[in-house]
Amino acid sequence: MRSEESASIKFLYPVIVRITSFAGIFLLISAFLIFPRAANTFDLEEEFQIIIEQIDIPQTEQFDRPPPPARPSVPVESESEDIADDVTLDEFNLDEFDAWGAPPPPPEGPRVKFIPYDDPPVPLTPIRPKYPEIAQEAGIEGTVVVQVFVDDRGRVKETVILKGIPNTGLDEAATVAIRAVRFRPA
């Protein structure tokens, strides 16, 4: 019995699809005919005409371009040798000049050491520097860049301020805050 129902559905499926498609199209057309969209007609306002006035523009004068500059002439050697033989150049003594020494060494900046590592040291707790009162009263803000050397146990061995704001207390506050933190060594 089950196979008879499935067989009848297979044969009736194309018929059912056609009937429902035609019914849908019929309902759609009847809806357009019963409820026309343009039932309320309205009058268009008259468009204003734009009047264009034609003005005769006098022809402009064309000025002549100035001639191009003359090509530079090639100097030609003179045939007469009227140069005075008694004219001499001042003699220079090169021994009077001192030899220049080497330039002074560049100013010594922060000593930046690099120790190769796979994973950088990571602070175990957040670094929270105390904002100095001097900088707070003066309204000074800034960023201090500090290079930190961490030993095998995660303790800070050395700090070098690479970029700071001197005489504000910010450098010292950053150094104190970093020295108080333990790191996971590299």
Find tokens 């008259």 and name the residue.
Answer: 46
Q: What are the tens digits of pLDDT across the range 36-45?
A: 776 566 677 7
CA atoms of 108 and 112, how far apart (whole Å) = 11
Write down the pLDDT at residue 171: 92
- Considering only CA atoms, which of 177, 184, 180 is closest in space to residue 121? 184
Calculate mean pLDDT across residues 71-83.
72
Write down the pLDDT at residue 174: 93
Calculate mean pLDDT across residues 63-69.
85
Write down the pLDDT at residue 79: 66
| ∠ CA 157-163-165, rounded to 5° | 110
pLDDT tier for residue 9 given thresholds of 50, 70 and 90:
confident
**Which amino acid belongs to residue 56?**
D
- Considering only CA atoms, which of 128, 169, 177, 168 is closest in space to residue 148? 177
**Which amino acid belongs to residue 9?**
I
pLDDT tier for residue 65 given thresholds of 50, 70 and 90:
confident
- Considering only CA atoms, which of 171, 183, 174 is closest in space to residue 128? 174
Q: Which residues share a beta bridge with 145? A: 163
Write down the pLDDT at residue 58: 85
| Cβ contacts of 118 within 8 Å, gap of 6 or more | 186
pLDDT tier for residue 16 given thresholds of 50, 70 and 90:
very high
- Considering only CA atoms, which of 147, 155, 150 is closest in space to residue 182? 155
Percent of the chain with pLDDT over 70: 80
pLDDT tier for residue 180 given thresholds of 50, 70 and 90:
very high
DSSP secondary structure of 154-165: S-EEEEEEEE--
110 or 182: which leads in pLDDT: 182
Find tokens 């860049």 and name the residue.
Answer: 145
Mean pLDDT estimate for the chain: 82
Write down the pLDDT at residue 52: 87
CA atoms of 57 and 55, how far apart (whole Å) = 6
CA atoms of 15 and 185, how far apart (whole Å) = 78
Q: What are the tens digits of pLDDT across the range 87-143?
A: 566 666 767 767 777 778 776 665 667 778 888 889 999 999 998 888 888 888 889
pLDDT tier for residue 83 given thresholds of 50, 70 and 90:
low
CA of 39: how far to CAs of 32, 34, 35, 42, 46, in Å? Answer: 11, 11, 8, 10, 22
